[in-house]
Amino acid sequence: MNSQLRRAVGTALVGAVGISTLAACGGESTESGSGDGSKPKTVTLVSHESFAASEAVLKEFTRQTGYTVKVLKSGDAGTALNKEILTKGSPQGDVFFGVDNTLLSRALDNDLFTPYEAKGLDRVAEEVQLDADKHRVTPVDTGDICVNYDKKFFADKKLAPPQTFADLAKPEYKNMLVVENAATSSPGLGFLLGSVGEYGESGWQGYWKKLKDNGVKVVDGWEQAYNEEFSGSAGGKKAGADRPLVVSYASSPPVEVLYSDPQPAEAPTGVATGTCFRQIEFAGLLTGAKNEEGGKALLDFLISRKFQEDMPLNMFVNPVVKDAELPELFTEHGAVIEKPETVDAATIAKNREQWVRSWSSLVVK
């Protein structure tokens, strides 16, 4: 998820909750003993800004292991990863969370992680284990980047909302779509990769030419696109937004319900399920970690059922373990994406920078 996911789903909405929650659990960093005078008490998790977990869940980790989790947030996913690359070998913490499949190659090529096969990995879906042969990273969550639509707008216009990539280029949806910049935004990059998955390496540029001709609007990041430009969000309504289509997440509708007062019976936004790209977020044990054993214990915990079932209403992402259950809010208002677009990680690694440059030249300039 990102940076989202990640990655997310709503960095502004989730981030505020996550910071206050984790501050209560993080404690002060200490390397003092917890019985024998040598075992560190604290394990430090480095992450993007959208990481969040319930206080009770982090306390359960402490109860089970004796370690207290300290969370160090380092900006969005790309920024956080860059900081770790610059300090590799002398990391800021013990575990890094939040590198996704769009940026995974950068982390692996820079040898950021010490291999570790987390306990319980056999319960994790095989299709998300992109480094299964070496176990340098552990998959933690998935999220689907998709176009969201304003239900009221389309109902008022008596116009069916778009459902596919091809629909978005049709004249009836002219000047309706706002997207994030693929060079500066995780969901923006994910949507670009979704178009590559749909149209292939030789066809995606032609598709974006059609979107540009159809009035697509590009803004820097998710916050601006969703909360300022999109007419279906609570923030967009307050801002007088006029774009009824936005690149966001399949789990954005539950966010709109959860943070509404009173909560509506139906989400005000919907998901165009044929426009989705799947993000996978990973965590890894940082090479040079001061508390390697604590880091391994934390990786085990991140794929425990306890943590996995806590994620959906904290980070609005999907669990990767097969036995985790989704909360009712997710199942009732979220969208299940049966066939999201994907692009092979090696193909992303080989072409990502060139695709982004070509996209920028074609769409932004």
Confidence of residue 79 (pLDDT cuts 50, 70, 90): confident
Cβ burial 248-274 (10 Å sphere, 16+ → b, else e): bbbbbbbbbbbeeeeeeeebbbbbbbb
Instruction: Report which of 217, 18, 6 is spatially closest to residue 99, judged by C-alpha positions.
Output: 6
Helices (H), 130-203: 151-157, 165-168, 186-199
Whether 297 shows a pLDDT value over 70: the answer reads yes
The pLDDT of residue 19 is 31
Q: What is the pLDDT of residue 225?
A: 95
Which DSSP letter does residue 263 get?
A: P
Which one has a higher pLDDT value, 312 or 184?
Answer: 312
| Residue 33 scores a pLDDT above 90 | no
With pLDDT > 70 as the criterion, what percentage of the chain qualifies?
A: 89
Across the range 154-181, mean pLDDT stands at: 98
| Cα–Cα distance for residue pair 262/280, rounded to 1 Å | 33
User: Can you tell me the mean pLDDT for 271-297?
Assistant: 97
Q: What is the DSSP string of 297-319?
A: HHHHHHTSHHHHHHSHHHH--EE
- What pLDDT, on a 0 to 100 scale, did the predictor assign at position 74? 84
Quote the CA–CA distance of 133 and 111 in Å, as a whole number.
Answer: 15
State how far the Cα of 103 lies from the Cα of 109, in Å rounded to an integer: 10
Average pLDDT estimate for 42-52: 92
pLDDT at 216: 98
- Output the pLDDT for position 38: 61
Helix (H, G, I), strand (E, B) or coil at 279: strand
Q: Residue 236 — very low, low, confident or very high, per pLDDT cuts 50/70/90? A: very high
Least confident of 73-87, 227-241, 305-319: 73-87
SS3 150: strand
Is residue 2 very low, low, confident or very high in pLDDT (cuts 50, 70, 90)?
very low
Q: Is the pLDDT of residue 32 over 80?
A: no
Peptide bond into 161 cis (omega under 30): no
Residue 41 is predicted with a pLDDT of: 93
pLDDT in tens, 193-206: 999 999 999 999 99
Strand locations in the chain (E):
42-47, 68-73, 95-100, 113-114, 138-150, 177-180, 217-219, 245-249, 269-286, 318-319
The mean pLDDT value of the chain amounts to: 88
Q: What angle do CA 210, 213, 218 make, to 5 degrees?
A: 95
Give yes or no for residue 85 having a pLDDT over 50. yes
Considering only residues 174 and 183, tell me which one the structure prediction assigns the higher pLDDT.
Answer: 174
**How many Cβ atoms are within 10 Å of 345's Cβ, its own excluded?**
17
Per-residue three-class SS string for 71-113: EEECCCHHHHHHHHHHCCCCCCCCEEEEEECCCHHHHHHCCCE
Q: In the predicted model, is pLDDT for residue 259 greater than 80?
A: yes
Q: Closest by alpha carbon to 141, among 326, 342, 303, 314? A: 303
Name the CA radius of gyration of the chain, rounded.
Answer: 20
Q: Is 290 exposed, middle or buried (0-12, 13-18, 19+ CB in 10 A)?
A: middle
Angle separating helix axes 204-213 and 345-359, nearest 10 degrees = 40
Structure tokens, 143: 């999220």
Which residues have a Cβ under 8 Å from the Cβ of 154 and sit 6 or more positions away?
A: 160, 161, 244
Q: Is the pLDDT of residue 72 over 90?
A: yes
Instruction: Specify the pTM.
Output: 0.83
Q: Does the pLDDT of residue 21 top 60, yes or no? A: no
Residue 107 confidence class, pLDDT cut points 50, 70, 90: very high
Burial class (CB in 10 A: 0-12, 13-18, 19+), 173: buried
Q: What is the pLDDT of residue 25?
A: 40
C-alpha to C-alpha distance for 214 and 267, rounded to whole angstroms:
27
Q: Is 155 exposed, middle or buried (0-12, 13-18, 19+ CB in 10 A)?
A: exposed
Determine the average pLDDT of the residues in 78-105.
91
State how far the alpha carbon of 282 is from the alpha carbons of 110, 171, 193, 350, in Å.
16, 39, 18, 20
User: Does residue 293 have a pLDDT over 60?
Assistant: yes
pLDDT above 80 for 3:
no
pLDDT number for residue 7: 37
